[in-house]
């Protein structure tokens, strides 16, 4: 198919065909990462601004390396060293960055909708690297890519997302992506963190962990996001681990080919038992490798112009 989107703001507005195009393109970029020379000139002469208003380590370095592997020039703009502290608005900061001829702005922001706002006021391509509790589209794309590498097709799979759903943009983007691709999504966690309203997104909500993971092909664990919780949503971390943590006893009751995913950073001994995180059913580090390929694919697709796809 021909890619026509200028920005990557969320998964909600993508079609299944567009998601599959990203995944197919990412496969080619993963192969580039396995060559002796891992760099290609696709974005030579383009400038990418990484505007991380909310702290991030793994997503930021993944985007940075993806941009470098595509030969783009990079400006890193971190919240702590920036002018936000001097009172400049997001729009003014972004306009100033665009005045440096930035072609792409990769934004991470604590406010939901910040990337959408920038896409309306800027001419640059905008990529959402996580906005509040709204979406984290490249995470969902790399998760889908990782699942597809192991299970061939996503349609018909049972995927259980376990943990803090309420505050998780990863969960929302994953629910959109997986349901669009035909997977059956089950959400589970403390009832305070998994409101029934999520059923409106086309997934099932349950509070019985053993039932939630019994038939799962993929168990997707999420971290408890202390930084987003204004008040305590469950009695204690210990109780959370007892009730919802994935340990050996619980894993023994799942399908033998069920695979474990986690967007990181993992809290060993909280949502996941340390040994399970390192076992051969864990895809956690593959997710990191695939994230690079998926982000290269997104930058490559958005960089396309308005002309036809095939030129002799």
Partner 1 sequence: MPESVTILDANAIQRALTRIAHEIAERNENSAEVVLVGIPAGGVPLAERLGKILSEIWKQPVPVGSLDVSMHRDDLDRRAAPKIYPTEIPFDVNGKTVVLVDDVLFSGRTIRAALDALNDFGRPKKIQLAVLIDRGHRELPIKADFVGKNVPTAPDEKIIVRENEVILERK
Straight-line distance from the first to the last Cα atom of the chain, in angstroms, rounded to the nearest whole number: 17
Q: How far is the CB of 302 from partner 1 (least distance, A)?
A: 8
207 binds partner 1 (CB under 8 A): no
Nearer to partner 1 by Cβ, of 256 and 307: the residue is 307
Least distance in angstroms from the C-beta of 124 to partner 1: 13
158's tokens:
């049972």
**Nearest CB to partner 1, comparing residues 53 and 142:** 142
Write the burial class of residue 177 (CB in 10 Å: 0-12 exposed, 13-18 middle, 19+ buried).
buried
**Residue 48, strand partner residues:** 74, 104
Which residue lies nearer to partner 1 by CB, 3 or 234?
A: 3
Q: How many amino acids of this chain bind partner 1 (CB under 8 A)? A: 29
User: Residue 306, interface with partner 1 (CB under 8 A)?
Assistant: yes
Could you tell me the smallest distance in angstroms from the CB atom of residue 63 to partner 1? 18
The answer to whether 213 and 160 are in contact (CB under 8 A) is yes
Q: How far is the CB of 103 from partner 1 (least distance, A)?
A: 8
Distance from C-alpha of 173 to C-alpha of 138, rounded to nearest angstrom = 9
Nearer to partner 1, 23 or 107 (CB): 23
Find the binding residues for partner 1 in span 274-303 (CB under 8 A). 300-303
Cβ–Cβ under 8 Å, residues 105 and 98? yes
Strand order in the sheet with 184-188: 204-206, 184-188, 158-162, 218-221, 259-261
Chain positions 12 to 51 lying near partner 1, rule: CB under 8 A, are 24-25, 28, 31-32, 35-37, 39-42, 46
Of 72 and 251, nearer to partner 1 (C-beta) is 72
The answer to whether 302 and 7 have CB atoms below 8 angstroms apart is yes
Question: What's CA 161's distance to the chain center, in Å?
Answer: 14
Which is nearer to partner 1, 39 or 255 (by Cβ)?
39
Is the CB of residue 196 less than 8 Å from the CB of residue 205? yes
**Among 189, 187, 182, 199, residue whose Cα is nearest residue 144:** 182
Cα(46)–Cα(28) distance, rounded to whole angstroms? 21
308 binds partner 1 (CB under 8 A): yes
Closest separation in Å from C-beta 30 to partner 1: 11
Q: Residues in the site for partner 1, rule: CB under 8 A?
A: 2-4, 24-25, 28, 31-32, 35-37, 39-42, 46, 300-312
């Amino acid at each position: 198919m021909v890619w026509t989107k200028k920005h990557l703001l969320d998964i909600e507005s993508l079609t299944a065909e567009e998601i599959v195009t990203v995944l197919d393109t990412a496969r080619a970029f993963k192969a580039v990462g396995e060559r002796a020379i891992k760099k290609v000139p696709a974005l030579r002469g383009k400038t990418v601004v990484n505007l991380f208003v909310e702290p991030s380590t793994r997503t930021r370095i993944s985007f940075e390396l993806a941009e470098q592997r595509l030969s783009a020039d990079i400006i890193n703009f971190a919240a702590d060293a920036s002018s936000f502290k001097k009172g400049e608005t997001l729009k003014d900061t972004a306009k100033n960055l665009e005045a440096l001829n930035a072609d792409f702005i990769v934004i991470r922001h604590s406010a939901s909708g910040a990337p959408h706002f920038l896409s309306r006021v800027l001419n640059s391509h905008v990529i959402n690297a996580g906005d509040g509790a709204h979406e984290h589209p490249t995470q969902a794309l790399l998760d889908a890519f990782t699942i597809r590498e192991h299970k061939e097709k996503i349609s018909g799979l049972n995927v259980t997302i376990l943990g803090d759903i309420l505050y998780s943009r990863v969960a929302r983007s994953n629910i959109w992506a997986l349901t669009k691709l035909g997977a059956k999504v089950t959400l589970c966690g403390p009832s305070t963190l998994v409101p029934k309203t999520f059923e409106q997104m086309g997934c099932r909500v349950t509070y019985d962990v053993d039932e939630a993971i019994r038939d799962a092909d993929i168990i997707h664990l999420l971290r408890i996001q202390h930084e987003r919780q204004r008040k305590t949503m469950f009695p204690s971390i210990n109780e959370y681990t007892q009730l919802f943590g994935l340990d050996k006893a619980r894993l023994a009751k799942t399908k033998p080919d069920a695979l474990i995913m986690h967007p990181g950073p993992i809290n060993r001994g909280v949502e996941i038992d340390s040994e399970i995180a390192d076992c051969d059913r864990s895809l956690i580090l593959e997710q990191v490798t695939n994230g690079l390929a998926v982000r290269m694919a997104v930058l490559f697709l958005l960089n396309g112009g308005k002309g036809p796809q095939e030129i002799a």
